[in-house]
Structure 1
Amino acid sequence: MFDLKGRVAVITGGESGIGLALSKTFAAAGVKTVIGGILAERGEAVARELAETGAEVRFVKVDVRNQAEVEALVQGAVDQYGRVDILVNNAGVFDGMADIEETTENLWDHMVDINLKGTFFGCQAAIKHMVKQNYGRIINTSSIGGLIGGADGASYTASKFGVVGLSRQISKTHAKHNITVNAVCPGAIDTDVRGNSAAIVSSAAEFMNRGVGANPDWISRIIPAQRKGTAQEIANLIYFLATEEASYITGQAIAADGGWTA
């Protein structure tokens, strides 16, 4: 059960946080993995480390805001392996809880372009190959901020609601091709998303010290599990959705949040 050995996966944002945990999980399972990410030095190091274990993993520097680069990422996997079975659109940035009055056009554009448009580019690049092979698993990383209005800032929330809507729409149009499309919606997860986001969006990120992740006392008040989740716990969920055992699950937005949205 849950065997993905020999499958071909493309992961964006696979060099850090949830994506890194998933890259390691796929590598250990014998999945041929192409990691696309913007943090080149870190991504190359991850690919080397995993390759040393005997895994078939490579890294490609990609900015998911650039359609041509995303297309080349997916096409490169197909050129090398003959197919792409799994696409995980995981690249994303956080707005640090900036409310509508604090949200600049620059910050809005970063959130929507990376979180939502980047996911659209990935889905569009992979879906044509998946239709031809009559098989595919697409998992898009949204957030509980894509399910409720009180978890994140204005631009991040809008982008992550968009990821859920996009995932559901594609699931309706492409289920007949044996393609499942789901969104995972993590809650507060123990990653460095704030630090990575600040590095990527630069001066647009002014509010990274807000929210449940930045204020541990909020955890006991908001999260019934009384802790943050781990990147591996989210990676485990994504892995399951990529397996044949999850073949009848599509169009879903699945929260993994320690009970936050319950």
Structure 2
Amino acid sequence: MTELKGRTAVVTGGETGIGLGIVEALAGAGANVLIGGILAEAGQKAAEAVSAKGGTVAFQRTDVRSADEVEALVEAAVARFGRLDVMVNNAGVFDGFADCVETTEALWDQVIDINLKGCFLGCRAALKRMTPQGSGRIVNTASVGGLRGAADGLSYTASKFGIIGLTRQAAVTHSQFGITINAICPGVIATEIRANSAAILGADGPDMQRGVGSDPDAYKRMVPAKRKGLTAEVAAVALFLASDAASYVTGQAIAIDGGWTAT
């Protein structure tokens, strides 16, 4: 049901965390995968590690804030593997729970550009290739923070709500061409997003450790499963959406959150 042998996938932000989990799942199902990301050392290591397990994976440094670089990433995948079947727009940064007053213009611009604009550029580049061929799967990484207002900071929340809106509109206009477009909405997942966001945002980033040391178990009061999710659990849903099994699923925002949004 999730066999992807011979198909080509691009995953932005696939160097670490959820993105890497998705790369591993897609490669494990037989897809040829090109990772696009800004963390070059981590990206190269990720490609080598997954390839060592038998996958066909390569890395190309890509800043998703740049239309030219996103277009070049997709074009490289087509040139290397012959076509584009799956686009996963996963690149994103966290805002350290900064509220409206605490959010600087610089932080807002960075988070919106990476999370939301980067998703738009990835969708646009992919649709240019998928529409003429009459098939394709696009999976956008949103968040529980795109479904409710109390999960994250202002700019992150705005970007993830935006991704869900973008996903739904694009699905309405492009599903007629045999393309499905969906969003996944992870909840509390064990990743390195705080450290990676600090490295990417630099001086524009706020304190990424807020709320961690004071009450590291706070999520257990929100999440019925009483644990953090695994990247592999998020990747399993992304893999399903990238497969033929999900051919009639489009325009959806699917929570992977241990029951958080059910409360």
TM-score by shorter chain over 0.5: yes
- The alpha-carbon distance between structure 1 residues 176 and 232, as it changes in their structure 2 partners (threshold 3 A), is same
The aligned amino acid for 2:122 is G
Aligned AA (1:167): T
Where does residue 186 of structure 1 map in the other structure?
186
Question: How far off is 1:27 after superposition?
Answer: 1.7
Match in the other structure for 1:115: 115
How far does residue 87 in structure 1 lie from its aligned partner after superposition? 0.2
The alpha carbon displacement at 1:4 in A equals 1.1
What are structure 2's unaligned runs of at least 5 residues?
none
Pairing 1:249–2:249 present: yes
Give me the whole-angstrom Cα distance separating, in 1, the residues matched to 2:5 and 2:219: 38
Alignment of 1:226-237 (within 5 A): 226-237=226-237
What letter is aligned with 2:127? I
Residue 88 of structure 1 aligns with which residue?
Answer: 88
Structure 2 letter corresponding to 1:130: M
| Structure 1 gap ranges (5+) | none
1:214 Cα offset (Å): 7.9
8 A contact 1:21–1:231 mirrored in 2: yes
Over 3 Å counting, the alpha-carbon distance change for 1:174 and 1:213 in structure 2 is: farther
Task: Give, as a single letter, the amino acid of the residue that structure 2 aligns with 1:173.
Answer: T
Amino acid at match of 1:245: A
Q: TM-score, normalised to structure 2's length?
A: 0.97
Q: Could you tell me how far apart the structure 1 residues matched to 2:53 and 2:260 are?
A: 37
Structure 1 residues 188 and 153 mapped into 2: Cα distance closer, same or farther (>3 Å)? same
The answer to whether the Cα contact below 8 Å between 2:2 and 2:29 also exists between their aligned partners in 1 is: no
Greater CA deviation, 231-240 or 75-84? 75-84
- For the Cα contact (< 8 Å) 1:95–1:156, is it kept in 2? yes
Cα drift, residue 254 of structure 1:
0.5
Q: 1:100 corresponds to which residue?
A: 100
AA matched with 2:145: G
- The alpha-carbon deviation at position 220 of structure 1 amounts to 2.0
Deviates more, 1:202-211 or 1:119-128: 202-211
Q: How does 1:1-262 map to 2 (within 5 A)?
A: 1-211=1-211, 215-262=215-262
Query: Residues of 2 paired with 1:213 and 1:220: CA distance?
Result: 15
Aligned-pair CA distance for 1:212 = 7.4
TM-score for the superposition, normalised by structure 1: 0.97
Q: Distance in 1 between matches of 2:184 and 2:215?
A: 24
Give me the whole-angstrom Cα distance separating, in 1, the residues matched to 2:214 and 2:83: 41
- Taking the aligned partners of 1:67 and 1:214, their CA distance within structure 2 comes to 40
Specify the code of the residue in structure 2 equivalent to 1:106: A
Instruction: Determine helix, strand or coil for the equivalent of 1:116.
Output: helix
For residues 150-195 of structure 1, the C-alpha deviation after alignment (integer angstroms, 9 at most, x for no partner) is 1000000001100000000000000110100000000110001000
How many Å apart are 1:50 and its aligned residue? 2.2
How far apart in 2 are the matches of 1:94 and 1:213? Answer: 17
Contact 1:64 1:70 in 2 (8 A): yes
1:53–1:221 distance in 2 versus 1, CA, 3 Å: closer
Aligned counterparts of 2:112 and 2:211: Cα–Cα separation in 1:
20
Following superposition, the deviation at residue 211 of structure 1 comes to 4.9
Letter in 1 for 2:189: I
Q: CA offsets per residue over residues 31-67 of structure 1, 9 Å max, x none?
A: 1000001010111111122223332111000000011
Aligned residues: 262
Does the aligned pair in 2 maintain the 1:13–1:19 contact within 8 Å? yes
